[in-house]
Amino acid sequence: MKQLLIAGCAGRFFVFSFICLSLVSAVEAQTRRQPDTTNLTCEETHALINRFGAINLKSGPHKFDRYVTNRNQCFTGQTVRNTFVQTEDNKRCTVLICAETGQRNN
């Protein structure tokens, strides 16, 4: 009886560990797949944003944000504001992000 109990606990631990590792791998894979604006031209960056309406893009090794085509892609109470991302051909490529009404540029 004790062996069955131990085997059951070990099995549940294995399944739990597998699920946790799978989730971590999925999150890491999603981060790696995001296009990086520093490897795109400003025009290519705008084309991606226009294609999807809203898209998460990396703009450096540890920086990413959600860029949008217009306010329709924002939540209620948000507005759009200009910000800049570095691209392959432009250090200040203008893009739009959603921001809380009254939020200032940083």
pLDDT tens-digit map of 39-55 = 999 999 999 999 999 99
Rounded alpha-carbon distances, angstroms, from residue 60 to 34, 39, 87, 93: 11, 10, 10, 14
Would you kindly state where each structural domain of the chain is located, as residue ranges? 1-33, 36-100
70-91 pLDDT, tens digit each: 999 999 999 999 999 999 999 9
Tokens of 12: 């549940």
Q: What is the pTM of this model?
A: 0.65
Angle (nearest 5°) at CA 25 between 20 and 11:
30
The half-sphere exposure of 102 on its side-chain side, counting CA atoms within 13 A, is 1
What is the side-by-side order of every strand in the sheet holding 78-85? Answer: 54-58, 64-68, 93-100, 78-85
Instruction: Indicate the pLDDT class of residue 38, thresholds 50, 70 and 90.
Output: very high
